[in-house]
Structure 1
Amino acid sequence: MTRGLVIGKFMPLHKGHIALIKFAAWHCDELIVSMSYSDNDPIDGTLRFSWILEQFSADPKIKPHIIKDDFDDETLPLEDRTRIWAQKMKAVYPPIQVLISSEPYGAPFARHMNAQHICFDLARGQVPVSATAIRNRPLTNWDFIPRIIQPYFIKKICLYGPESTGKTTLAIKMARHYHTVYVPEAARDLLASNEFSAADIVAIGQLQHQYIQEQSQKASRLLFCDTDAVTTAIYSRLYLNHVPPEIYELEKRTRYDLHLLLDIDTPWVADPLRDQGHRREEMLLLFEQALQERQLPYIKISGSYPEREIRVKSIIDQLLRSG
């Protein structure tokens, strides 16, 4: 049996890695994919390994393994570094006959492994991308990110602010314009009035989080969110004089890349869940203070509805250009 080896950090796994691994699997009977990690990696090692397991779950020939990178010494010349790598690989894996790589380290590493080296697309002409480029500019390199990993890199934009400022309409319009999806406001699916309990607040927060998880799987590059857990906390404090601890926990579980704070310079439109029309300035202050207390980045959006759309599109276009 011919056993092959591919190593990498896969931070993250991308389509270039997938092409390499499929090429490597074609050249052997069993392929070990060894993913190294360290405690200070910018993307958690356990999460990265789960992506590899899922991506190759249908191919029994491919055997993913995870190994802690506590043996490398980047200060050494490549020849000495690859000798250390080979010693470690020989200690933890069965005998390797073929090493497949797309990197300059491949030849010396294979020699120390007493294995044949097969080079794959060293110039990266087939899939011109790197993991570093994806981490730095995921939106620009979106098409190189596997579908199972794209939700990790989605930019979440929260439409945020007091009642009757056009959050829902703007979220729907922006999602349509950027060919993605939006997250609806969970409170409107659970409440018919502002008579609610702490248990209702927790249910709203949990459903909002569920919606975010579900829509993240469908989104492309951007996810527009109509409200967030901070908003739930504000209304819980306002109506119940108490915020259940579960809401603060839910806050920590979703990171937004930007909050767009919608100003109150639009007409008030009443409905069964809106009863703070007489306190619009006070409510706007509460919402803005909540962002400032949490040190969350935000931009205030004012003007007529058409002016708001133009302003938000300008902001999002800049985000997309920056990657």
Structure 2
Amino acid sequence: MRKGFVFGKFMPFHKGHEAMIRFALSYCDELSVLICCSNKETLPAPVRQVWVEETFRHDPRIKVLVFQYDESLLPNTSETSALASELWAAQFKFLFPDHSLVVTSEPYGELVADYMGITHMAFDMKKAKYPVSASKIRSNLPETWQYLPDAVKASLVTKVVLLGTESTGKTTLTTRLSEHFNCTGVLEAGRDIITDSNDFGIKDLYLIAREHAARIDRAAKGVSPLLVIDTNIHITLSYGEFAFNTELSVDRGIFESNRADLYLYLNNDAPFVQDGTRLSEEDRNRLDISHRRILDKYGVTCEEIRGDWDERFEQAVVLIEQLMQRKLESWHQFAEKLHYA
């Protein structure tokens, strides 16, 4: 049985890393993936570990390990030198005494293998197949989004949720905003499951909760680092209490899927339009009170959106642009701390 290993910082884990691991798997029966985390790094080791484990969760041949080290005792793993390679080779020999293969995409890979007395296989050293690096991603996350595996996207995506009672323009605004920002819009599952707001049951609400969370999860792994989402789980909970005086029991995972960076609440000052499937205007306004109460109960803070359709769009655009600017500045500040490649 041939055992091999790969090692790296994975800050963040990207598709080049993923391809290297798959390449290594084609040459060994068991593969250890070592995440090297120094005492000077701020990206938590468990986050990196989850990224790799989730990406390869269906392959039993892979074991993901974390190695915490002090840079006063061991040099940074990105350093290419004979001394650094010799020191790390000794550490790897201790960790993997029965491994006979190491796979890297860096020049120091050959040096490490020589000091260990094992075989080195190089993968895409010129970055031709995947022209990306962790440092490039840290410097420009939106432009390199396509190079992130699904597990990484899901943890870094920005979510904006539109909330409000019926006939306040949530669906229309979701579509308009997603087109404006060239991002992914997630439409509410309720419209496809319940055709008439006056005719539905508790089971329908549970189905909506699951399906809407699934739609958000799928979109979070898509082509855009920004999601605009029509409605969330709190609105479904509100319908349960409003229509049936029942508090729905919802899995924690559904709440996590629905968690967002910005909540926009559309005021009911918009003209009421009865399309034959909605509540009466009186019930629509009572539902607005229910929504606000549920959001307050769960500690959800919203930005209020008012006015006509264009005014709502303009207010939402400003708030989303401000959010994205804050997120970008925060990412750059974070990336500056991760000053290693």
| TM, length-normalised to structure 1 | 0.74
SS in 2 for 1:69: strand
**Structure 1: segments with no counterpart, 5+ residues:** 58-62
Aligned residues, how many? Answer: 308
Q: Which residue of 2 aligns with 1:254?
A: 258
1:162 aligned onto 2:176: no
1:7 aligned onto 2:7: yes
**Runs in 1 of length 4+ with deviation above 6 angstroms?**
1-4, 116-126
Give the AA of the match of 2:258: T
Correspondences of 1:178-257 after superposition (within 5 Å): 178-191=181-194, 192-246=196-250, 250-257=254-261
C-alpha distance in structure 2 between counterparts of 1:239 and 1:309, whole Å: 30
Q: How many Å apart are 1:319 and its aligned residue?
A: 4.1
Give the AA of the match of 2:309: Y
Q: Which residue of 2 aligns with 1:60?
A: none
SS in 1 for 2:229: strand
Contact 1:35-1:66 within 8 A present in 2 as well? yes
The structure-2 alpha-carbon separation of the partners of 1:187 and 1:237, relative to structure 1 and needing over 3 Å to count, comes to same
Give the AA of the match of 2:99: P
Give the AA of the match of 2:243: Y
**Structure 2: segments with no counterpart, 5+ residues:** 38-43, 76-83, 329-341
Contact 1:156-1:224 within 8 A present in 2 as well? yes
Correspondences of 1:61-140 after superposition (within 5 Å): 65-69=62-66, 72-78=69-75, 79=84, 80=87, 83-90=90-97, 93-96=98-101, 100-102=104-106, 106=109, 109-110=112-113, 112-115=115-118, 127=131, 129-130=133-134, 133-134=137-138, 138-140=141-143
C-alpha distance in structure 1 between counterparts of 2:115 and 2:301, whole Å: 50
C-alpha distance in structure 2 between counterparts of 1:32 and 1:129, whole Å: 26
Q: Which residue of 2 aligns with 1:277?
A: 281
C-alpha distance in structure 2 between counterparts of 1:320 and 1:266, whole Å: 27
Give the AA of the match of 1:161: G
Cα deviation 1:2-38 (Å, max 9, x = unaligned): 986431253543144357668x76xx95597532359
C-alpha distance in structure 2 between counterparts of 1:228 and 1:140, whole Å: 28
Q: How many Å apart are 1:48 and its aligned residue?
A: 1.9
Q: 2:178 aligns with which of 175, 178, 189?
A: 175
The structure-2 alpha-carbon separation of the partners of 1:187 and 1:2, relative to structure 1 and needing over 3 Å to count, comes to closer
C-alpha distance in structure 2 between counterparts of 1:103 and 1:293, whole Å: 56
Deviates more, 1:76-85 or 1:266-275: 76-85
Q: How many Å apart are 1:240 and its aligned residue?
A: 0.8
Contact 1:183-1:212 within 8 A present in 2 as well? yes
Q: How many Å apart are 1:311 and its aligned residue?
A: 2.2
The structure-2 alpha-carbon separation of the partners of 1:293 and 1:6, relative to structure 1 and needing over 3 Å to count, comes to same
% identical equivalent positions: 26
Q: Which residue of 1 aligns with 2:144?
A: 141
How large is the RMSD of aligned CA atoms in angstroms?
4.1
1:303 aligned onto 2:303: no
C-alpha distance in structure 2 between counterparts of 1:218 and 1:143, whole Å: 9
Contact 2:12-2:134 within 8 A present in 1 as well? no
C-alpha distance in structure 2 between counterparts of 1:223 and 1:64, whole Å: 35
SS in 1 for 2:173: helix
The structure-2 alpha-carbon separation of the partners of 1:308 and 1:131, relative to structure 1 and needing over 3 Å to count, comes to same
Q: Which residue of 2 aligns with 1:294?
A: 298
C-alpha distance in structure 2 between counterparts of 1:71 and 1:150, whole Å: 25
C-alpha distance in structure 1 between counterparts of 2:29 and 2:323, whole Å: 40
C-alpha distance in structure 1 between counterparts of 2:268 and 2:107, whole Å: 56
Give the AA of the match of 1:159: L
SS in 1 for 2:178: helix
Contact 2:186-2:227 within 8 A present in 1 as well? yes
Contact 2:170-2:230 within 8 A present in 1 as well? yes
Q: Which residue of 1 aligns with 2:32?
A: 34
